[in-house]
Every structure is written in C-alpha cells, then in structure tokens.
Structure 1
C-alpha cells in the first residue's frame, strides 16, 4: 500500500503519513506501527487541523 506525507514535510523523517486509501496513519520514524482509522475519521481530523 502507498503511504503519503505532506509535501510541506520535504525530506524530513519526522512526519505523520497517511495510507493512500485513508485507512491508517503512521509515524515516519516507526513505519511498522500503524494506527488503523476509518476514512471518515481521517477526513474529520484533516478538516479540524486546517
């Protein structure tokens, strides 16, 4: 599965990444540990942060 991070992160490895299908998040420093989320939960989080 493809993971995405913010384009503002540049080459930093200190990022939160989202799975392309919006079903999980992970810390780029520890990519083996994922947090399963629903796509709705991730969309709500993104809307809240903006």
Structure 2
C-alpha cells in the first residue's frame, strides 16, 4: 500500500474532560460523521483512516 495523500482522523472516545466527544450529535448527526464527510470532499486524498485508539 503506497498512498501519496493519506488523512488520519483521530477519534478517541476515552477523553477525560468530554468522554465520547466524537459521538456527540449535532442536529442528530455525530461529530465524527461531519468530520468524515468534510474530509471526503478533498479531491487530493487517496485514503481516509479513522484511528479509534
């Protein structure tokens, strides 16, 4: 696997100040989904990875 442009989205749920922040919903949609959809609009990316730990 040789990707020129890779995006890694950090999606930890173990935050101490605001646990599971990425799963909080805004207008019924989890914040992580907003982030992924926004990143998918980038035309230069070869791969998107969501890191959960």
Q: Scaled by the length of structure 2, what TM-score is found?
A: 0.27
Q: Which has the higher contact order (CA 8 A, sep 6+)?
A: 2
Larger radius of gyration: 2
Greater strand content: 1
User: TM-score normalized by structure 1?
Assistant: 0.28
